[in-house]
Structure 1
């Protein structure tokens, strides 16, 4: 029970904020919809052979040639927008979480190692991180996505390269504080290997600020992926992400076919806002200075 006490206290404080609690419920619901998309969606938007052009640009509520109702209408390729949004959310959640985890591991390792090693190694690593932080993340991700090409792995690699520096800077600051504490000096005076002291003692104590950064960066990764797909350098056309769906309907906004862009845009906004609200609450709880 003692091991669960910190989590229970955290959860008790978290659920006091009803806005954050609703946001968390929205994230869980979106994650479930994304995972169960093949079972829920009436159409597979990736199967281009089954798309019917006569169903293209139909308004919400239209009964298509497949015999089912297109509750959110269809896009210019005849895709059922409800199905496309579910699959688009699946891609967004997958890429955002995957990029966040990989960037977390790489950045936290670099930042903590730099703080622990000190000297020239610290200076070299952190100057490289600072150089990358001086570049806009969207610009760096855009260049890398254009160079690497289209695909999920390429997109994740571009997002990781654009975001790991934020984790590295945060981990470096937290690890530098931990490095100066007595328990680290005591651990170093024993025969324990340096990597054990770093990864078993210092890095776990750096997790609270890194978790806060992770929630923000997952939301940023989702927004970056949508932006790159909107610009045409993200995922291929056979995998319609939310950004690509918005781009597909952009030219029809002034012709009255608003649903092609508006509904995917609303889904994207809801997901990003929900993650940010949860991230704000987590930040307030993990940082006593920010508690209201």
Structure 2
């Protein structure tokens, strides 16, 4: 049990008062564990094309396949066990969401604090570029960048970062700008302390709370955006069954009664995104008491 006298202990004590947020956090942790240990909990490796049989394709939930095990959620058009594909798809979605979120956070925070600290032409140049990026829908930017870079995890993460870093930059800039004019920053600058230490010890810690809130939202947005791109055929290669691709694979069969191919991956995607957003909402409320109901 966390010590309630510490900041983390007080944060957790307040967090667990919201049962919905606690359940959402438990769901996120469970899905992350399933994704992390997908190779151990999945009845089939959906990447191993040699062990897939087209005779098992598009089979309903409960079907016993040629491998001798029951496909609890059915199979997709390639004959992959849908439950296994969902576990591996969760791994891909979470990996890309976290990677894109961390890189966007690092890049956006650096640019935002740099603009607020240096000011002048540097501030104008950075923030006008950020404003220009924010004027375009994220999905449009991601589509253009993925179309230019091609398919692959690195390209997809790069597209998501380019589409989302500006949200972190704007948040970091607003928080750092408010702190930059305060007396304690001026006092720190009047000492022999270097500007880098002033940023790391004073500006950055005070910018962290709002950035954490934005990070939780943007990770969920990254997962949603990746699924959208994969659904449109611009995400990962067909050999990597992301959730968006699984939904796309089953879409042509929706009207023929084979609903499970798209339905179950879609449910997994919705649960993951909603759970992350619920956790993010609670974190936002705790960092900003004025938003509490």
> Offset at 1:4?
6.5
Match of 1:277 in 2: 278
Tell me, in whole angstroms, the C-alpha distance in 1 between the residues paired with 2:200 and 2:250. 48
Is 1:74 aligned to residue 70 of structure 2?
Answer: no
Q: Deviation string for 1:32-68 (max 9, x for gaps)?
A: 0000000010111111111100000000000000000
Query: What's the RMSD between the two structures over aligned residues?
Result: 1.2
Matched, 1:141 2:142: yes
Q: Give the distance between the partners of 2:196 and 2:292, measured in 1 at CA.
A: 34
What displacement does 1:254 show?
Answer: 0.5
Does residue 108 of structure 1 match 2:112?
Answer: no
Partner Cα separation in structure 2 for residue 267 and residue 47 of structure 1: 22
Aligned to 2:120: 119
Matched residues in 2 for 1:192 and 1:232: separation?
52
Moved over 4 A (4+): 1-4
**More displaced 10-residue stretch of structure 1: 25-34 or 177-186:** 177-186
Q: Does 2:272 align with 1:251?
A: no
Give the Cα–Cα distance (whole angstroms) in 1 for the partners of residues 263 and 5 of structure 2: 43
Q: Equivalent residue of 2:206, what SS?
A: helix
- Could you tell me which runs of 5 or more consecutive residues in structure 2 were left unpaired when the two chains were aligned: none
Say if 2:230 is the partner of 1:223. no
| Distance in structure 1 (CA, Å) of the matches to 2:275 and 2:90 | 13
Matched, 1:238 2:239: yes
In the TM superposition, 1:1-292 aligns within 5 A as 5-292=6-293
SS across alignment from 1:252: helix
Higher alpha-carbon deviation: 144-153 or 160-169: 144-153
**Equivalent-residue separation in structure 2 for 1:175 and 1:2 (angstroms):** 30
Task: For residue 251 of structure 1, give the secondary structure of its aligned residue in structure 2.
Answer: helix
Where 1:120 maps in the other structure, the secondary structure is: helix
SS at match of 1:78: coil
Take 1:43 and 1:144, find their aligned partners in 2: how far apart are those partners? 34
Rounded Cα–Cα distance in structure 2 between residues aligned with 1:239 and 1:196: 44
The one-character-per-residue Cα deviations of 1:160-202 (angstroms, maximum 9, x if unpaired) are 1100000000000000011011111111011111111112210
Distance (Å, rounded) in 2 between the aligned partners of 1:283 and 1:3: 20
Q: Which SS does the other structure have where 2:268 is aligned?
A: helix
Shift in alpha-carbon separation, 1:163–1:32, aligned structure 2, 3 A: same
